Structure 1
Amino acid sequence: MFKQVYKYWWGQLLGWSAYFLINVFFSFTLKKPNLQTAMIYLIIFVLCGILSTHLFRALLNKLRGWGSFSSEKQLVLYLVLVLSTSVVLYFVYNLVLDYLVGNPPRSKNFLQNLLDRGYVSCFAVSFIWWAIYFIGHYVDRNRISQVDRLKLEATVRELELKTIKAQLNPHFIFNALNSIRALVDENPQRARTAITELSNILRSSMATEKMETVSLESELNIVKDYLALEHIRFEERLQVRYEIDPDTLGLQVPPMMLQTLVENAIKHGISRVVSGGTVFIASRLNNMEHEIMIENTGQLVEKNVLNGHGFGLQSTRQRLSILFGNRATFDIRNKDEATVEARVVMPLL
């Protein structure tokens, strides 16, 4: 509010100062007679102009919601304000002149009287003043609407990310608890170790709950805890290999994305192969992009998983789209007859 008032008065000051200086310049250039009297008239006109425009601007502010009027209504409002301001400015200016310096006698011809006593100048000034005022308000409203739209988009994006995270965490916990349940009777000691690993994962995921992105290093720590948990269940059937470029450890990735893809590799790959298999995790820089690749033993056979529409895969696509738009890609396919490859490519932030 105060910023708008401050801007308005600066506009008044600069606008009328420019009008005054332009008239002074032409008065000196054209070497008008009675220059001192002309300056007095000009000062009186400027003061009356400020008074008149401010009066009608105050009246306009009492008309709530005028900025949302249709174009036709705003045009009518503009013309009414121009005419009203020019008439008031004309009468106030001439009234002051009559009182202070004495004005030339009025002509019997009405139109000639208007011309002699400066109505054309009053109308022109009012026309330009209100044009600038309306244009300024249009620019301000447009800027504010853009800012509001960006805030709305950011809020929607934040809500979408929170929704996906809220779905991911119970989904992961459910799968992890199933793994632990299988160990409770068979090997209580290993079950206790598994619970410790799970608590580490949950602690890490809670720490990143409010973050849009986390470092790859933090994400890898969660993945390693998760794989340690799964290794208790699969034992020698699960082998893990890493190929991580050290330069990528500080790069930002969506939280829980890598863990989701690794979990998908275990659930749909390793667990369905009697002899088990290998999960290979790679992270490298490729030109100006960050490429993450997860390979696992197995084959995509389910229709939803094959098309990339499983829950974990769909959430990966959604988060990449929200954070990077079409600058990020995700693809999962059967690399050969024994291996599935999931590849994520993200722009460098």
Structure 2
Amino acid sequence: MFRAFIISAIAWIAVFYFRLFVLYQQSRLENEYLKQGNLQAQLASLRQQISPHFLFNSLNTLSSLSHEAPVKEYVLKMSEVYRYVLHYQDQQLTTVEAELAFIRSYIYILETRFEEGLKIRIQVGPGALGRKILPFALQLLVENAVKHNVISFRTPLSLFIYDQDEMLVVENDLRPRTTMETPSGMGLNNLSQRYLLTAGKDLCISRGESRFKVEIPLLS
């Protein structure tokens, strides 16, 4: 019971902060185009409602309080996720190696939630690890795949992250959920615009009958 309560509380905090972070990224992009000072002021007020440093310290405290190995491991992964968010939330670029370390912790959290319903494989060569990408690009694509597709134990959702032809590729099964609204594409559009603004390059997005693939340019 205690373990379930702890994990539920941590999951709620994680969802809240990630949504807050996405709003922050969207605001930054809109500010580039529209210079909306009022929107930035509202966002700054929202961000003050919860401190990421407070969350990070709270996770460490939770880890020390619990004696259950699964809970401690879950909290450890959450701490690694937030450490990355704190470090890179204002950075324009990160290395593929750093982003992959972050996404592995994020994937652990997802696999704890979905168990055998989610299968994620990473195969990135050593030559790509030192290249640059935009921070949280992989997280957005993984989150989109989980959010918009059916996940079940009988037919697990598979997702593959790999490098190919100067691109970092995220490819997943395409099994759209029928009980939710049509995806707006806002997250992908924002990521695309961020790449155009930062590097003058764009994503390559392809959608087949059963697979969805996004290719992210590897930067020098």
Task: State the match for 2:167 in structure 1.
Answer: 291
Question: Which whole-Å deviations, capped at 9, do the CAs of 1:94-140 have from their partners, x for residues lacking one?
Answer: xxxxxxxxxxxxxxxxxxxxxxxxxxxxxxxxxxxxxxxxxxxxxxx
Higher relative contact order (CA 8 A, sep 6+): 2
Superposition deviation, residue 270 in structure 1: 5.2
The structural deviation recorded for 1:226 is 0.6
Q: 1:299 to 1:223 in 2, by over 3 A?
A: same
**Equivalents in 2 of 1:320, 1:258: separation in Å?**
13
What TM-score results when the alignment is normalised by the length of structure 2? 0.61
Contact kept? 1:216, 1:253, Cα under 8 Å: yes
Task: Quote the Cα distance in structure 2 between the aligned partners of 1:265 and 1:247.
Answer: 26
Which structure 2 segments of 5+ residues have no match? 1-30, 53-67
> Which residue is equivalent to 1:345?
217
* Contact 1:272–1:298 (CA under 8 A) maintained in structure 2: no
1:197 corresponds in structure 2 to 77
Match of 2:91 among 203, 208, 211: 211
Do structure 1's residue 312 and structure 2's residue 192 form an aligned pair? no
Q: Verify the 8 A CA contact 1:270 1:297 in the aligned structure 2.
A: no
Q: Which amino acid aligns with 2:205?
A: D
Deviations 1:42-95 (A, max 9, x none): xxxxxxxxxxxxxxxxxxxxxxxxxxxxxxxxxxxxxxxxxxxxxxxxxxxxxx
Q: CA RMSD in A?
A: 3.2
Is contact 2:77-2:109 (8 Å) kept? yes
Q: Normalised by the size of structure 1, how large is the TM-score?
A: 0.40
Judged with a 3 Å threshold, the aligned counterparts in structure 2 of structure 1 residues 244 and 303 are, in CA distance, closer, same or farther, namely: same
Contact 2:150-2:176 within 8 A present in 1 as well: no
Q: Per the alignment, do residues 304 and 313 of structure 1 end up closer, same or farther by CA in structure 2, a change over 3 Å counting?
A: farther
**SS of alignment partner, residue 255 of structure 1:** coil
Aligned residues: 161
Deviation of 1:321 (Å): 1.8
* Structure in which a larger fraction of residues adopt helix: 1
**C-alpha offsets along residues 172-198 of structure 1, whole Å, 9 cap, x if unaligned?**
x9xxxxxxxxxxxxxx86455433322
Instruction: Report % sequence identity.
Output: 23
Gaps of 5+ in 1: 1-154, 174-187
SS in 1 for 2:194: helix
Question: Which residue number corresponds to residue 198 of structure 2?
Answer: 323
Give the structure with higher Rg (CA): 1
Q: Is the 8 A contact 1:317 1:330 kept in 2?
A: no
Helix, strand or coil: the match of 2:82?
Answer: helix
- Shift of residue 296, structure 1, vs aligned partner: 1.5
